Amino acid sequence: MNIFSVLNIISIYIVPCLILLALLFAYFRGVKVFETFVEGAKEGFGMSVRLIPFLVGMMVAIGLFRDSGAMELITGAIAPILSWFGIPSEILPLAFMRPVSGSSALAITAEIMNSHGPDSLLGRMASTMQGSTDTTLFVLTVYFGAVGIKKTRYALTVGLLADLAGILAAIFICNMVFG
């Protein structure tokens, strides 16, 4: 049994096991489980609906930026400078998309692995990049949107700085380990 199948088993079992343990524990402590569940679940609707204006605003801007060719133009312009630092230009679209759109970033990652192979340096770099940061703009929109916060202060700056660090670290470490 290799590590992957162990990890695979863990990730399949973890959610059902958590629910099982939580319910058994609740019975043991005499909690009325169904009533309590409904009481909590009720809050889900309002929270999700309140998100809509924030999500619409953000996803329209992202969709426009990506599909109009504006993003391509910008990545194309700075690619020569970055390749000078050992950053391959094929990885740039992913580096730009990762903080902005989770599903597009995933699509780019899959595309890189398809065309270059998952065991190539590029494939491993893309995997590391994809796994090491989250979609900053989505997290920001959803979390602040749910409670109606409009003044987000320095949160986006911190999130983007963290993304930059994660992306550079992924490139650097992969160049060292797999390069």
Partner 1 sequence: MVNLLWGFMIIAAILVAAINGKIEIITPIIFGSAEKAVAIAISLISIMAFWLGIMKIIEKSGFIHIIIFFLKPVAYWLFPGIPRNHRAMNAMLMNMSANLLGMGNAATPFGIKAMEEMQKLNKNPDTATDDMCTFLAINTASLTLIPTTVLAIRAATGAQNPTDIIGTTIIATLCSTTVAVLSDRCFRFYNRLKNKRVFSNNRNVNNSR
Q: Report, in Å, the least distance between residue 101 CB and partner 1.
A: 10
Q: Which stretch binds partner 1 (CB under 8 A): 77-85, 86-94, 112-120?
A: 112-120
Burial 79-117 (b: 16+ CB within 10 A, else e): beebeeeebeebbbbbbbbbbbbbebbeebbeebbeebe
C-alpha 125/C-alpha 147 separation (Å) is 36
Closest CA to 136 of 122, 109, 149, 154: 154
Q: Report, in Å, the least distance between residue 127 CB and partner 1.
A: 4
Q: Report, in Å, the least distance between residue 79 CB and partner 1.
A: 17
Q: Does 1 bind partner 1 (CB under 8 A)?
A: no
Instruction: Indicate the residue among 55 and 82 with the shorter CB distance to partner 1.
Output: 55
Instruction: Indicate the residue among 83 and 165 with the shorter CB distance to partner 1.
Output: 165
Closest CA to 115 of 90, 96, 133, 92: 90
Instruction: Indicate the residue among 52 and 89 with the shorter CB distance to partner 1.
Output: 52
Of residues 43 through 102, those in contact with partner 1 by CB under 8 A are: 43-45, 47-49, 51-52, 55-65, 67-70, 73-74, 99
C-alpha 78/C-alpha 76 separation (Å) is 6
Which residue in the set 11, 16, 80, 85 belongs to the binding site for partner 1 (CB under 8 A)? 11
Q: Report, in Å, the least distance between residue 105 CB and partner 1.
A: 10
Q: Pattern 130-169, binding to partner 1, x per CB under 8 A?
A: xxxxxxx--xx-xxx-xxxxxxxxxxxxxx-xxxxxx-xx
Contacts of 87 (CB under 8 A, 6+ apart): 171
Count other Cβ atoms within 10 Å, centred on residue 176: 8
